[in-house]
Amino acid sequence: METLRAQQIQTLIHIRAFPRSRRLPQCNGDSMEKSLPAAPIRYLWMKALGGYRKKITNHSPNVALRNDGFRHYAAYMLTPGFQSAAAELIALAQRSRTAYMCAERLYFRCHRLLLSDWLVAHGHEVLHIEGVGPVKPHHLTAEARMINGKLIYRGDRLL
* 53-111: pLDDT as tens digits: 999 888 889 999 989 999 999 999 999 999 999 999 999 999 999 999 988 888 899 99
What is residue 105's predicted lDDT score, i.e. its pLDDT?
A: 83
What is residue 30's predicted lDDT score, i.e. its pLDDT?
A: 77
Report the mean per-residue pLDDT for the chain: 90
What is residue 158's predicted lDDT score, i.e. its pLDDT?
A: 45
What is residue 89's predicted lDDT score, i.e. its pLDDT?
A: 98
**Residue 7: pLDDT band by 50, 70, 90 thresholds?**
very high
**Does position 157 have pLDDT exceeding 60, yes or no?**
no
Phi, psi torsion values for 108, nearest 5 degrees: -75, -5
**Residue 25: pLDDT band by 50, 70, 90 thresholds?**
low
What is residue 28's predicted lDDT score, i.e. its pLDDT?
A: 63
**Does position 20 have pLDDT exceeding 80, yes or no?**
no
Domain positions in the chain:
2-153
Sign of the Cα pseudo-torsion (28, 67, 113, 2, in order): positive
Rounded Cα–Cα distance for residues 102 and 61 (Å): 25
Q: What's the burial of 149, exposed, middle or buried (CB within 10 Å: 0-12/13-18/19+)?
A: exposed
What is residue 159's predicted lDDT score, i.e. its pLDDT?
A: 41
Could you tell me which of 124, 158, 152 has the C-alpha nearest to residue 138? 124
